[in-house]
Every structure is written in structure tokens, then in C-alpha cells.
Chains A and B, each alone.
Chain A
Amino acid sequence: MLYAPVPSPEPMHIPDGFLSVTVSVILWGISIIVIAYALKRVNADLGERQIPLMGVLAAAIFAGQMLNFTVAGGTSGHLMGAAIATILLGPWAAVLVMTTVISIQALIFQDGGMLALGANIFNMAVIGVAVSYVAYTTIVSLTSNRKWGVFMGGFLSAWSSIVVTSLAVALQLALSGTSPANLAVPAMAAIHAIIGIGEGLITVGALALVYSTRPDLLKLGQAGPKGGKLVWVIGLLLAIGLAILSPLASANPDGLERVAEQKGFLGIAKGPIYEVIPDYVLPGISNEALATILAGVLGVIIVFGVALAVAYMRRSRQVSGD
């Protein structure tokens, strides 16, 4: 029996290579600012308890992502965790916990890239947490803290955090010129509207248990943290902004493409490689462009073959040497 830590099936952790350098660097900048502020706030609120609490809960969220349930033969739903972390810990601590989880996933398990880590933190630890916070606090205060309000708030905050995060991912991919907005946005939104239901169900299940055994942990709804209003407003703006921006971008992908080109996101026009290395083509293929690509691929295969051969020889030498 191996419940090996599989990479999360939802396309949320962006690997390296998919985001342009500009997008990566900007999102790193935003994430660093948010993390720095969250560190300050959590340190003020929790003091010396911060390190053990954050560390162990990050480990719990990581492990909690392994708890899946069968949806239909072969597929399963499971947890991202931003919503449950926000509800139980408040927004700032949740930012730190999610940052820790995502960083370890990237650094150790290559679930998400290192250069793309800033973007992944921005999506899951900043947007995911902010949207969860807005949805949960709004619904809980509207229903004046009744039991069904807590559960409904939990479900909706989990669902909307997944969906809005996926919209952000789609927009970043479009801005980087990796996938066209008119395909990426609807596809991501549709997939995650379904995945979000699984997240919502798990979150409600977790809340139900906490509600009946440790109701004291659910105080966030009653006494919001200092600066909670600010988080609320920013979260709402993020959610609305992404919800409006992404359909717009998807309806008018050329617009986004133009923005991307003007800002230099899409990389500069390619130089005349054929002039610099005139013979860098394969003979027998009339289409020069295709020949260049094929030559590139062939080069990769050759390098790869040589590496495998060297590795193999080295191993057999070691075996005979022993």
C-alpha cells in the first residue's frame, strides 16, 4: 500500500518555463511584500507561539492534501487548504502557512517551479486566502454566525478560492503568451468550478468536526483581526477584478496579447537565426522553419543519447570496479 504523495491533479502549481520572466518577477515582488507584512502581523498576534503553530499546521495542510475521496471511478477530489487555513487561523497566519506548504512543494517535490514560486504563492497563498476571507466573513456576518451560515460560508469560500485562483493562473499564462486567454480562461474556470465542489465538501466536513468539538477555534467570524477590513476590501477587489477581467480577456484575447506585446512580455521578435548560422537546417526538408525546429529537436535527442551512454558506461564501470 503506497499513498505516495502524488502531485496535485488540479493544474494550479505552475512549473518553470510557463511564465515569462516579467510576470514571474512582478508576482515575486508582490508575494514578498505580502509575506513580509504577514510575518510582522503574525509575530505581533502570536508572538513566540508562531513558529510551532505555523510549522505544524503547514505540515498538516500538506498531509491533508493526501486525504482524497472517490468522485467517480478513478477520479478523486481533495484539498488545496487555503480556505480551511483562513477560517481556522485568520488571513495573515493562513498566508504564512500556505506560503510554507507551496515553497516546500516546489523546493522538495518539484510541484511547481522555483522561478514560478512567486506566482504560485501569489495565486494560492495571497489570492486564495484573500478570497476565502471575503467569502467566509461576509456570509458568516450576514447570517449572524448561525451554524448553517458557518457551513455555507465554508463551502463558498472554499469553492470561490479555487475558482478565482484558477482564473488568476489562466490570466498569468495568457499574459506570458503561454496559452491563449480565450481558451485558458473558460477551460480553467470550468474545470475548477467542479474541482471547487470537492474542496467545498471537504472544507464543510472539516468545519463540522471543528464546530462540534472545538467551537472556540471558529472565532474568526466574531472578532476579525486588526486590519481585517483592509484584507476584506483587497480580497473583494481581487475577486471582482479577476472575475471581470478574465471574461473580458477571454472575449478579447487580442487585447491581452497587445498589452503583453507592448509591455514586452512576449519576448522580443526573434532574430534572423538563419543568417547567423546559415547551415543550421536539415537537408531534404524544404520548409526552412520546420527544418530549424527539427534540427533543434534532433540536437536535444543527440545530447540526450550521449548523456545516457556516458551514464551507462559509468555505471557498468563502477559495477565491474566493485
Chain B
Amino acid sequence: MHIHFLDPYQPRLSPVHRLDPRVKFVLAVAFILTTAITPPGAWPVYILLLAIVLAVEILSDLGVGYVLRRSMLAIPFVLAAFPVIFTLEGLTVFSLDIGPWMLTASQPGLERFISIALKSWISVQAAIILAGSTPFPDLLVAMRAVKVPRLLVAIFGLMWRYLFVMVDEAMRLLRARAARSGHADRSDLKPGGKLVWRGRMAGGMAGSLFLRAFERSDRIYMAMAARGYNGEVHSFALPSLSPANWLVLGLSLAVLLILLIISILIFG
């Protein structure tokens, strides 16, 4: 059994997929940055940003449902911002009476909480579109174009190549353990052994995974050296961007800039 469901890339023939990965990468980062700078409570701007991200989702053929399901990942973290509703001072919106405590939700608090949740939700959708519409090697090209150090990009690339191999190994280890001892996913099943023993077994599995990785990296290095690798990372020169891509990049950045100016001038 191999793990292929890991890769979030969804092959489609949409205009978003055809866009140059460098343009997509820069636009995704610019979009997230714009969302981050937008002051709390600038609702019309949030709505426009959401409209943009949803429009791109539709255009990309990834399916709004797909992106939404993945975007739920960030939800648990919203809890971290929850207390802010009650701790900021300002106009009282409502009060909760919980036993000995009296929680007062303030207007600035509520506003900031909803802003954080919305910003986070909008940003994560942009990141999902990028990952869903761009194959990983193209993302590496984009990272090279924005001057991420070559060595780091090469490490990223090698990690991606062996990620599936290592995850397969980890799954084999998990399957072997599930067949023999100490793990129970269901709460009504009792796992074998004491807690400390189970922890150390998981550790032993991690240890053997690392040892295998060490040995594998030795073999990989030797194979690379046998084929003439001498520590230099060779890569093709990046092709120049087509006029259409420049146009998309320029127009989109201009739109984001206008949104940003509006949000700061009116709501800042």
C-alpha cells in the first residue's frame, strides 16, 4: 500500500492551473499579506477578499467544497483567540453569567475575534488554492525565482521526493504494531502495555525510522556521487514570464494594492 493521497495537488485544466507558478506564488503571498494588513473591522474589505478567493476557487475547478473542507484545518486554533471577546474593554454587547463569573463581551473584542477568524479563513483558502493548483516541482521553481537559497530549495526537493517513501515506512511500522500490540484508536478498546511502555515503543519505532533514513541517505548520496554529483546544485535557467502572465500579475497586484489603500484610508 502506498501513500498517494498525501499530495494535495489536483490536476485540472483550469486557467489557474495554467498560470505560471511564480505568478501564483507571488500573488498568494501578496493576497495573504493584504489580508493580514487589513485592519480589524474592515468588513467590506473582508467581503471583497473573500469574494476574490471564492472566485479563484471556482475558476480553478478545484471545487469550493474541496477547498472548504481543507480550510477547516485552522478552526481549532480559533479557540486561542476566543478569550479576546471578553478581555478587550469597550461597549458591552452581551453578558454571560457562568456560575461565579460574569463574562462581558465587548464590541471591540467581538470585532477583533471575528476579524481574526475571517482573516485566517480567507488566508488559508488562498494557500489551499496554491497547493491544489501547483505541482510541487513548480513550487520549487517559484521559490527559486523569489530567491530562496538554492541549497534550501534543493533540500525541500529531496525531502518531497523521499517523503512518500518515509511515510510508507512509517505506515508499515504502524501496521506492524497494530497487528501485534499497543495501540487503540477507539476509546472502547484497551491498548496493550503501560503508558510508559507504549511511549517507548512509539519511540523505538521513531528511532528505527531515523536509522533507516540515515542509511538511506548514505545510499542516496553514493548513488548521486556515482552519477557525477559534486555538491553543486544544477538547475535550468528560469524561462521568462509571458506577457499574459505579466499582465495577470500586474493587474492582480494593482487590485490588491487598491484594496489595501481603501482598507487603511477608510478603516485604518
Contact = CB atoms under 8 A, between A and B. Distances in A.
Contact of B206 (A21, A84, A280, A300): A84
Contact of B158 (A56, A69, A173, A314): A56
B120 interface: yes
Nearest to B124: A110
Contacts of A1: 175
Interface in B47-97: 47, 50-51, 54-55, 57-58, 63-65, 70-71, 73-74, 76-77, 79-84, 87, 91, 93
Contacts of A276: 266
B139 to A, nearest CB: 6
Contact of A17 (B36, B58, B167): B36
Interface string A81-113: 000100010000000100111011011111101
Question: DSSP class of A's interface residues: helix, strand, loop or mixed?
Answer: helix
Contacts of B162: 55-56, 59
Interface stretch (A2-10, A127-135, A236-244): A2-10
Contacts, number: 369
A310 interface: yes
A307 B58 contact: yes
A163 interface: no
A262 interface: no
A123 interface: no
B202 A179 contact: no
Which of A14, A63, A73 has the largest number of chain B CB atoms within 10 A? A63
Interface residues of A, number: 114
Given A67-B173, A73-B187, A271 B50 contact: no
Contact of B202 (A56, A113, A202): A202
A210 B211 contact: yes
Interface in B113-170: 114, 116-124, 127-128, 130-131, 136, 139, 149, 151-152, 154-163, 165-167, 169-170
B36 A21 contact: yes
B120 A18 contact: yes
A118 B169 CA distance: 30
A16 B124 contact: yes
A138 interface: no
Contacts of B224: 52
Interface residues of B, number: 126
B205 interface: yes
B231 A210 contact: no
16 contacts: A3-B174, A16-B32, A21-B36, A55-B155, A63-B167, A66-B170, A70-B185, A179-B83, A184-B83, A208-B200, A209-B211, A210-B210, A290-B107, A293-B110, A293-B114, A307-B58
Interface of A: 1-5, 7, 9, 11, 14-21, 24, 35-36, 39, 43, 47-60, 62-64, 66-71, 73-74, 77-79, 84, 88, 96, 99-101, 103-104, 106-111, 113-115, 173, 177-180, 183-184, 198, 201-210, 213-214, 217, 253, 267-268, 270-271, 273, 276-277, 280, 287, 289-290, 292-293, 295-297, 299-300, 303-304, 307-308, 310-311, 314-315
Given A110-B70, A303-B54, 5 more contacts: A69-B182, A209-B208, A210-B207, A296-B41, A303-B47
